[in-house]
Amino acid sequence: MTAQNEATQKIRSFNRFYTRLLGLLDRHILDSDFSMTEARVLLEISKENGTTARKLTERLKIDPSYMSRMLRGFEARSLITQTPSPTDSRSKLITSTAEGLLALERLSERSDAQVRSLTAALSPEELQSVLDAMALIRSQFSRAVFPAVIRNYQPGDEEYIIQRHRELYLNEYGLNEAFAGYVHKTVHQLTDHLDPNTECVLIAEGNGRPMGSIAIAKRDSQTAQLRYFLLEPEARGQGLGLRLIEEALSFCRQTGYKRVFLETINLLTTARSLYSRMGFQIYQTRVQSDWGREVTEEYWELIL
Amino acid sequence: MTAQNEATQKIRSFNRFYTRLLGLLDRHILDSDFSMTEARVLLEISKENGTTARKLTERLKIDPSYMSRMLRGFEARSLITQTPSPTDSRSKLITSTAEGLLALERLSERSDAQVRSLTAALSPEELQSVLDAMALIRSQFSRAVFPAVIRNYQPGDEEYIIQRHRELYLNEYGLNEAFAGYVHKTVHQLTDHLDPNTECVLIAEGNGRPMGSIAIAKRDSQTAQLRYFLLEPEARGQGLGLRLIEEALSFCRQTGYKRVFLETINLLTTARSLYSRMGFQIYQTRVQSDWGREVTEEYWELIL
DNA sequence: CATTATAGTTGACTTCGTCCAGTAATTTTA
DNA sequence: TAAAATTACTGGACGAAGTCAACTATAATG
């Protein structure tokens, strides 16, 4: 009890400390042309060109009228453009201008500089130890801060799966459009005739946004294929991937499958270690050259 | 360069994460009767009964007019009393009422509960690893956040040294008033006839407040005594103690002393390890029973 | 003793943000 | 298919937090 209490005091002390640190770091926003909230909104707009005020208010939990005024201000400063939505004439589509992106760039550059000055005096080993410490704190507290939920398929989710597979695999792993096309085709095969009793598509959601995906496709009455396992970079390292896989496998068990297999490529090291942790084993590999670079395709299976 | 850049991004990501966490934790202040700033002010008042508005505005960096209004509000809510200062009729002495202390207590209890709920799911080992991680981050970043300065003696510093020795040694180590009286007497012996060429009293200051002390007293032309080394609990673990000792020893070297000795007690483990790190060695010990409990007095010396 | 500095106060103002009521367009429902 | 309900956005009023400049009364200084 006393130990717990002492720990509580230490954590509160650290929190006060870090509040001050963050205060110092965010100081630069004070003497920029943006408030904290404006910066958040501007960033969010840049992330999704053609959003609506609605989405922004939901994601950032900002009052609609406040948002309306802020957007008008942004438009007056030529940071964004608002064009009437063709599909819903109540809304406007909001897009960053080059000027807006530049402003964000400058803001981000200044933040980077602040952090660099903070770490400048540290040796590489010390820096690494700080990063490790941050990762540890984050992983222990993430559940409280980041209450991601895993929900079932909703129409429109294929868009997300296809688009993010495309962006992540092309950028991070250097695959080509052929791969993206393959994903596009097979995702639609699954979602166009989804049998909810034997198949599922699960989406992890946090911050009012998809944070990852996984799917179970039926191969035969005994065999399921685990597909489209993806986790947003910002959501990694928080056990969310594990939850997704567990959820998917739990679905397989309920459905009565005897065997689950999956296809992956050797490059996806984090995913691979998760598969192996769940009991999956490689039963076949082959070299695949159709996707822009030579990769080793691996087939893993798990007997339930 | 890229590694540094990646580290910067990771740190900024952690900062965003922790900002959200702190936001959640501070939420309770929102539905209390106090704003963040009010809570800080109230806490500061409770720490020093009989402060003045002036001191508060300096320490907490709050606008005087804002402070004036806030204090009037507190008085209306019976959280503090303001009585005209007998020594300076421009100022008022500000004191917490029982009600004010109770309100703070409640606030603190709620903060504790929040933190406990955050750590409830952690095993003792995990909790300890979080505490270690926090300590590490803190020690690496403290210099930036906590730019304590070491300055020379100013009239009035004896008050601080005597009072804090008294409070810390009586509370933390269970010594008695005899010890406090001993400190009182010897401090005045030093400061009443301080020879700036051969003696010094150094005060570490941070947050506009003393954070620690150290002194060098002349014994003979060859020998100096290091005394009154003290560091506020909130300023510990940040290398400030080391800086104080180094500063004091550097003064001894400049002055031309050949030998520095000091008296300490076996209970002060942190200070002892600092002494040993600087090259001090124990040359004599004796049991001391005059100070409320039996302690071993140790005499350390360092040949310059 | 006149000047200057300090402690605190007051009024006007800005910024950030919330609440409520409204309009126009869209969707749902009877 | 017309009325009712919902949704996307806007505008006005307001409030909390905080800043700025001017002012009063007292104290320190040369």
Q: Flag whether residue B36 sits within 8 Å of chain A, measured between CB atoms.
A: no
Please indicate whether, in this complex, the C-beta atoms of B17 and A138 are within 8 angstroms of each other: yes
Q: Which DSSP state fits A122?
A: S
Residue A65, pLDDT score: 96
Q: Flag whether residue B171 sits within 8 Å of chain A, measured between CB atoms.
A: no
Please indicate whether, in this complex, the C-beta atoms of A130 and B118 are within 8 angstroms of each other: no
Please indicate whether, in this complex, the C-beta atoms of B134 and A12 are within 8 angstroms of each other: no
Please state whether strand D lies within 7 Å of residue A32 at its CB atom. Answer: no
Q: What does the H/E/C string look like for A167-203?
A: HHHHHHHCCCHHHHHHHHHHHHHHHHCCCCCCCEEEE
Closest-approach residue (CA) in chain A for B4: A116
Share of chain A above pLDDT 70, in %: 97
Residue B157, pLDDT score: 87
Residue-wise pLDDT for B277-303, tens only, equals 999 999 999 999 999 889 999 999 999
Residue-wise pLDDT for B90-134, tens only, equals 999 999 999 999 999 999 988 898 899 888 878 899 999 999 999
**Average pLDDT in the A52-75 region?**
94
Residue B26, pLDDT score: 83
- Residues in chain B predicted with pLDDT less than 50, given as ranges, are none
Please state whether strand C lies within 7 Å of residue A65 at its CB atom. Answer: yes
| H or E element, residue A220 | strand A209-220
pLDDT bracket for residue A20 (50, 70, 90)? confident
For residue B137, give how far its alpha carbon lies from the nearest alpha carbon of chain A (Å): 6
What is the 3-state composition of chain A as percent helix, strand, coil, each rounded to the nearest 5? 55, 20, 25
Protein CA at B29 to nucleotide C1' at D9, angstroms? 32
- Cβ neighbours of B13 in A, within 8 Å: 234
pLDDT bracket for residue A230 (50, 70, 90)? very high
The tokens describing A186, both together, are: 């097979």
CA distance A269 to A285: 15
Residue-wise pLDDT for A169-178, tens only, equals 998 888 999 9
Closest-approach residue (CA) in chain B for A111: B12
CA A146 to chain CA centroid, nearest Å = 12
Of A104-118, A212-226, A257-271, B68-82, minimum mean pLDDT range: A104-118
Q: Say if residues B82 and B71 touch (Cβ distance below 8 Å).
A: yes
Residue A33, pLDDT score: 87
Residue-wise pLDDT for A94-106, tens only, equals 999 999 999 999 9
**Average pLDDT in the A12-21 region?**
90
Share of chain A above pLDDT 90, in %: 61
Identify nearest nucleotide to residue B65 by CA to C1′ distance.
C9
Residues 230-289 of A with CB under 8 A from B: 234
Please indicate whether, in this complex, the C-beta atoms of B24 and A112 are within 8 angstroms of each other: no
Buried b (16+ CB within 10 A) or exposed e, A62-82: beeeebeebbeebbeeebbeb
| H or E element, residue A136 | helix A124-145
Select from A17, A40, A142 the residue whose CB has the most chain B CBs within 10 Å, as the one to mutate to test that interface. A17
Give the pTM.
0.71
Bigger pLDDT: B303 vs A31: B303
Please indicate whether, in this complex, the C-beta atoms of B15 and A25 are within 8 angstroms of each other: yes
The tokens describing A100, both together, are: 């807006």
pLDDT bracket for residue A210 (50, 70, 90)? confident
Please state whether strand C lies within 7 Å of residue B64 at its CB atom. Answer: yes
Residue B30, pLDDT score: 67
CA end-to-end span of chain A, whole Å? 43
CA distance A163 to A165: 6
